[in-house]
């Protein structure tokens, strides 16, 4: 679809239907609100949010929705996101670079269920 046809309303509806649609939303239309809607549906859509827009709140919502989204959280927010999502006990385990390892670690602690 040509960029000129992508209106805020159209992009919002696309993301409402499928969070992964954030990938195709032009940068100037990727608001915090739209990114939040996207990650609540598809946590890994966080990868399509601008780095400067990856706030603690946005990242925590993404990881709540999908533990594998931790790989897209900025390094300086990872500890805070783990605390926000899983409480203080989450900080006692190191962050795993491999998303499956991270999910396994959280699953073993009862923080993630299949």
Residue 113 belongs to a domain: no
**For residue 49, is it within any domain?**
yes
Residue 70 lies in a domain: yes
Q: Is residue 114 part of a domain?
A: no
Across residues 89-106, what is the average pLDDT?
56
User: pLDDT value at position 90?
Assistant: 53
Which of 29, 28, 75 minimizes the C-alpha distance to 14? Answer: 29
Number of domains in the chain: 1
Predicted pLDDT at 108 = 62
- The separation between CA 28 and the C-alpha centre of its own chain, rounded to angstroms, equals 19
Higher pLDDT, 1 or 76: 76
Owning domain of residue 76: 3-108
Residue 24 located in a structural domain: yes
Angle subtended at Cα 76 by Cα 73 and Cα 81, rounded to the nearest 5 degrees = 55
pLDDT at res. 5: 75
Q: What is the pLDDT of residue 33?
A: 95
Tokens 């603690």 locate to 56
Is 77 part of a structural domain of the chain? Answer: yes
How far lies 6's CA from each of 3, 17, 20, 21, 53, in Å?
5, 15, 16, 12, 21
- Global pTM reads 0.73
């Amino acid at each position: 679809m040509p960029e000129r046809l992508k209106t805020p309303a159209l992009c919002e509806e696309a993301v409402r239907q499928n969070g992964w649609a954030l990938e195709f939303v032009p940068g100037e239309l990727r608001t915090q609100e739209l990114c939040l809607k996207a990650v609540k549906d598809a946590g890994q859509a966080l990868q399509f949010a601008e780095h400067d827009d990856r706030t603690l709140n946005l990242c925590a919502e993404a990881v709540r929705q999908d533990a594998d989204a931790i790989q897209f959280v900025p390094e300086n927010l990872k500890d805070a996101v783990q605390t926000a999502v899983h409480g203080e006990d989450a900080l006692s385990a190191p962050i795993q670079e491999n998303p499956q390892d991270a999910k396994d670690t959280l699953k073993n602690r009862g923080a993630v269920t299949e």
